[in-house]
């Protein structure tokens, strides 16, 4: 399998709603290869997650978790998850802002509002149902990655652009792993 190039903000593919994974694709060698390429790329880039559109594939597929990301050293570890055709449901109205970065927006961070708790449903790579209720960093990562499947990038959610910028300017003197 392979580490794929990450497409960056400005590429029109990142603004489109991705195609759902069809019943015929579940369990297929092509889907397994795509997932492995995504995993190889996510790990190589130290990402907390990655969505298929970020490597140029317009499919409703995201993977996340499975290792401690050096880009988010204080965050709890999230179980490795392959999520196809997700549906997110916010639980309650409580939201919080926190700093996010993105492999498709390299070298930058922004303060992004997200729901604190949510339920996500979808399927794994074999079409078996997934139904989880999560909160905290796990909920934030799921929301961020699923946004990619529906043409949304985190800067589009930032309420105040004074809280968006280059990592070295926002956090002078701090050593944070870059996304690029």
User: Which residues are catalytically annotated?
Assistant: 145
Provide the CB-side half-sphere exposure for 176 (13 A, CA): 23
Q: ∠ CA 96-119-14 to the nearest 5 degrees?
A: 70
Q: Please tell me what DSSP assigns to residue 147.
A: H
3-state secondary structure at position 83? strand
Bridge pairing between strands 61-64 and 49-51 = antiparallel
Q: Which long-range contacts (CB under 8 A, 24 or more apart) does 7-11 make?
A: 7/53, 7/54, 7/55, 7/56, 7/104, 8/104, 8/105, 8/106, 9/102, 9/104, 9/105, 9/153, 9/155, 11/104
Q: Please tell me what DSSP assigns to residue 127.
A: S
Cα dist. 42→24, 91, 141 in Å? 26, 28, 13
């Amino acid at each position: 399998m392979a580490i794929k190039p990450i497409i960056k903000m400005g590429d029109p593919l990142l603004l489109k709603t991705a195609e759902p994974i069809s019943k015929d694709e579940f369990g297929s060698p092509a889907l397994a290869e795509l997932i492995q390429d995504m995993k190889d790329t996510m790990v190589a880039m130290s990402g907390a997650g990655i969505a298929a559109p970020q490597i140029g594939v317009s499919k409703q597929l995201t993977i996340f978790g499975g290792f401690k990301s050096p880009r988010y050293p204080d965050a709890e570890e999230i179980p490795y998850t392959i999520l196809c055709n997700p549906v997110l449901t916010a639980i309650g109205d409580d939201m919080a802002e926190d700093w996010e970065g993105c492999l498709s927006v390299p070298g930058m961070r922004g303060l992004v509002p997200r729901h604190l708790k949510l339920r996500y449903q979808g399927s794994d790579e074999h079409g078996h149902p997934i139904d989880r209720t999560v909160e905290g960093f796990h909920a934030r990562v799921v929301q961020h990655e699923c946004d990619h499947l529906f043409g949304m990038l985190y800067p589009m959610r930032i309420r105040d652009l004074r809280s968006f910028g280059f990592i070295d300017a926002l956090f002078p003197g701090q050593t944070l792993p870059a996304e690029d």
